[in-house]
């Protein structure tokens, strides 16, 4: 079972990201589960969502305490040291940041992959909504499922130009990260 924890801020589409990722997994023929760390948080407050992906039905409903992956939609959230605390050894951490992966890893002492997702989104959409580039990058890194599954899941939620531009973002983000870099981890965890 693959467990992913997504951190973000209220209003960044954190839960949507989790649902899309789970939807993509479902489209790829996997069992999935996504849920927010339910809160009454308002716009701007730190929020968390969880995704589980598995080849058989998922029964557990506890929160993800030791994720295989972290997706961080706002690098400033990394100032809270507990954020990365539960990450499994060797797990991947993808962060929306304009820094380079190296600089970022050095800064926080944890290996991280950086993606200027906000910037990309801002350029494409005129709004800093980093979730789609991050999901694309995540799937590119892990090769958990084809990007088409993601695009289909997005198609279930978005329409029109929003969808078109998000699909362009998917493709663009996929170019920005090394494909398959985290594949080993996911293979190991899925076993």
Residues that bind other proteins (CB under 8 A): 15, 18-19, 22-23, 26-27, 31-36, 38, 40, 58-63, 65
CB of 14 to other proteins, least distance (A): 12
CB of 131 to other proteins, least distance (A): 15
Q: Which residue has the tokens 């557990």?
A: 60
Backbone dihedral angles phi then psi of residue 41, each to the nearest 5 degrees: -70, 145
Pairing status of strand 2-9 against strand 46-54: antiparallel
Cβ proximity to other proteins: between 1 and 168 the closer is: 1
Cβ–Cβ < 8 Å for 136, 170: yes
Cβ proximity to other proteins: between 157 and 165 the closer is: 157
CB of 147 to other proteins, least distance (A): 18
Cβ proximity to other proteins: between 65 and 183 the closer is: 65
Beta strands, E only, the chain: 2-9, 31-36, 46-54, 69-72, 92-96, 113-115
């Amino acid at each position: 079972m693959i467990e992913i924890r997504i951190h973000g801020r209220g209003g960044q589409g954190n839960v949507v990201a989790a649902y899309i990722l789970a939807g993509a997994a479902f489209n790829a023929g996997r069992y999935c589960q996504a849920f927010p760390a339910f809160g009454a948080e308002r716009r701007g407050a730190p929020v968390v969502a969880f995704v589980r992906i598995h080849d058989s039905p998922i029964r557990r409903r506890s929160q993800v305490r030791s994720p295989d992956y972290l997706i961080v939609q706002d690098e400033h959230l990394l100032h809270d040291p507990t954020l990365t605390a539960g990450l499994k050894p060797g797990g991947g951490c993808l962060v929306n940041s304009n820094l380079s992966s190296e600089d970022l890893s050095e800064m926080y002492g944890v290996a991280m992959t950086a993606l200027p997702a906000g910037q990309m989104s801002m350029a494409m959409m005129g709004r800093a909504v980093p979730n789609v580039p991050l999901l694309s990058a995540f799937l590119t890194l892990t090769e958990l499922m084809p990007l088409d599954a993601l695009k289909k899941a997005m198609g279930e939620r978005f329409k029109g130009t929003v969808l078109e531009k998000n699909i362009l973002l998917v493709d663009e983000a996929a170019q920005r990260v090394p494909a398959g870099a985290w594949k080993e981890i996911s293979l190991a965890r899925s076993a």
